[in-house]
Amino acid sequence: MGAAIVSGAVAAAVGGATYGGRELLHRQADAARAVMGKPHGEKAPKADKVYRKRFGDPLDLVMLGDSLAAGLGADLPGETLGARLAKGLAKKVKRSVRLRTVAKVGNHSEELGRQIARLPEDYRPDVAVIVVGGNDITHRKPLAESIAHLEDAIRQLQDRGAAVVVGTCPDLDMLRAVRQPLRTLGSMASKQLATAQRDAALQLGAHVVVLAQVAGPFFISHPEEMFSIDQFHPSSLGYRRTAKAMLPSLLAALGASEAVPDGHHTPGFHLPRLASGEPPSA
């Protein structure tokens, strides 16, 4: 996905650039693709199972979205985002958590409906987590289309009785393997999408975690530890940090907690749209 983001950012930028500017962007993209590559392949570790069986009375957690939701970059199945969330949730509520992952590497918002369609008709998750957006940037999907697909997915999951938590698109400015000005172009697009995701999800009664705010600073300050070897996807430690940052919204969605920290938004909480499309800073 990292290399594709580079290609998408270039395609979005070169149209209005001078010849010299286009050549610069293409050289930067080639250099970033060479660094990133695909060392993890196309499949994330399979982490689906019941976590903390000794607690019993399992909750059902389903993960939807792209490679981040699937856990690409984690060294072991138990270190993916879904597994980390399942274990953290079980510890807090003293109930087992049954994890099901339909998120897929390379997917974008358009595939959310197909991911839900793969679930059994009688499947009723207690909480659903959606993390998607990076590939929408790579494929230059119209913002309105991405949001419409997200809204439809939220409604379908709510119809199944699930509390929904949306992790917004991460800020692509974190990708230090991508040089300027290409990184700034990707950052602008990702912030705009994240803001629109936040607003749409809140209006539908979903809980929202602004990943750029709650997890982004750790990736910026400790990139060698937080990123995996492709310098794009989180490492096992990166997923651990991200899961810890997201957990308060899962607890709030399940009614196990009322208070949420900065960067978390509960249904009914309204934020005015920022002119720049950027999420608010901490």
Query: What value does the mean pLDDT of the chain take?
Result: 82
Task: Give the pLDDT of residue 232.
Answer: 74
Mean pLDDT computed over 272-281: 40
Alpha helix ranges (H) inside 15-142: 19-36, 67-70, 81-93, 112-117, 134-138
Distance (Å, whole) CA 30 – CA 32: 6
Q: Pick the residue with more confidence: 281 or 70?
A: 70
Task: Specify the residue for token string 């590497």.
Answer: 105
Task: Give the pLDDT of residue 225.
Answer: 77
Task: Give the pLDDT of residue 189.
Answer: 84
Share of the chain above pLDDT 90, in %: 59
For the stretch 70-119, pLDDT in tens is 999 999 999 999 999 999 999 999 999 999 999 999 999 999 999 999 99
Share of the chain above pLDDT 70, in %: 75
Catalytic residue among 109, 173, 230, 236: 230
Task: Give the pLDDT of residue 175.
Answer: 60
Q: Please report which confidence band the pLDDT of residue 29 belongs to, taking 50, 70 and 90 as the band edges.
A: very low
Those residues with Cβ within 8 angstroms of residue 173's Cβ, 6 or more apart along the chain or in another chain: 183, 184, 186, 187, 190
For the stretch 185-201, pLDDT in tens is 777 888 999 999 999 99
Instruction: Classify residue 92 by burial, with Cβ atoms within 10 Å: 0-12, 13-18, 19+.
Output: middle
Which three-class secondary structure state does DSSP give residue 83?
Answer: helix
Mean pLDDT computed over 3-23: 43
**Nearest Cα to Cα of residue 239 among 93, 88, 64, 62:** 88
Task: Give the pLDDT of residue 125.
Answer: 98
For the stretch 32-59, pLDDT in tens is 444 444 544 568 999 999 999 999 999 9
pTM: 0.81
Strand partners, 209: 167, 264
Q: Is 66 a known active-site residue?
A: no
Catalytic residue among 67, 146, 187, 236: 67
Picking from 113-127, 134-148, 266-280, which range would have the lowest pLDDT averaged per residue? 266-280
Q: Is 187 a known active-site residue?
A: no
Catalytic residue among 233, 249, 264, 265: 233
Q: Is 230 a known active-site residue?
A: yes
Picking from 2-16, 116-130, 246-260, which range would have the lowest pLDDT averaged per residue? 2-16
